[in-house]
Amino acid sequence: MPEDENAILEGVIDFHVHSRPDTVERIADDLELALEAKEAGMHGIVLKAHGASTVERAYLASRAVRAFDVFGGVCLNASVGGLNPELIKRMIQLKANTPSGQRVGMVVWLPTLDAENHIAHGSHSSTPVPVRVKGDPAPGLIEILKLVGEYNLILATGHLSSKETLWVIDLAKSLGVNKIVVNHPEFSVTRMTLEDQEAAAEKGAFLEHCYYPLTPVAQHVRPEEIVKSIKQVGAGHCILASDLGQYENVKPIEGLRSFIRTLLHYGLTWDEIKLMTKTNPAALLYS
């Protein structure tokens, strides 16, 4: 760990940040979070919104902050047409790069609040977006996965069930998708057993461990459980992210710093932290 604790976020990428404008209250807007992250020495952030594209917003934030990469993507909930290949095509066609020259629109999240699994866990959504219909891929899914693979985008599994997640990883791999992220396997809605996490990693996916489930607001998991998962699966198959931006929580930069300190306290090494906050996210976004 750096001797100067202020340097703990130097070069880090937060792969999962929520910000304003959004349909729910957020603690800060895109520009504010990007400026704070840059001032903390971070390399970049990924903006996520459940109800709309963040690509255009990320591009403007990158332009305003300068020398700092802000990425975005699309979350395939009902508000954007669900499993809508035309939306992915538009994101691909959008002429928007980060200051380092990388495509801004890099992430395609499968359904989150409108996932059948999240609705079964209490989401207030009345517009489910299934990924399977009678055991087969839902309309649009195969075309989306082919686009993700062809253009080297990142597929994130959203709020699918553990069973759906493993199924979609296999399907995505068969269609040429090389970069897959399993979102917050410790979150109550998407919780995966350690065996399923290992299976996902063996299939080539990264496990995204987030700070949000540790917060007093969520209280979904203990830090020891996250450390155990990382140790067993291997830091080489994991990334760390905040999943913060909720009005009732601390800001993402503060939360990510606390997350790193907590995981170090519970037994992770600084080399493991660097792998999960710098090397692995960079491999997803820049390779």
Is the distance from CB of 91 to CB of 84 less than 8 angstroms? no
**Element (H or E) spanning 118, and its range?**
helix 116-120
| Phi, psi values for residue 28, rounded to 5° | -155, 160
pLDDT at position 270: 97
Handedness of CA 225, 226, 229, 230 (dihedral sign): negative
Mean pLDDT per 10-residue segment, the chain (287 residues): 79 98 95 98 98 97 95 98 98 95 98 97 92 98 99 99 99 99 96 98 98 91 97 99 97 98 98 99 97
pLDDT at position 174: 99
Q: Which residues pair with 103 in a beta bridge?
A: 97
Per-residue pLDDT of 153-194, as tens digits, reads 999 999 999 999 999 999 999 999 999 999 999 999 999 999
Q: What's the CA dihedral at 210, 215, 218, 223 to 10 degrees?
A: 60
Is the distance from CB of 108 to CB of 88 less than 8 angstroms? yes
Q: How far apart are CA 287 and CA 232, in angstroms?
A: 26
DSSP secondary structure letter of residue 54? -
Looking at domain 5-286, its CATH class is alpha beta
- Using a cut of 0.85, tell me whether the model's pTM lies above it: yes
| Phi, psi values for residue 255, rounded to 5° | -65, -40
Is the distance from CB of 72 to CB of 53 less than 8 angstroms? yes
pLDDT at position 123: 86
Domain coordinates of the chain in residue numbers? 5-286
Q: Which residues pair with 241 in a beta bridge?
A: 210
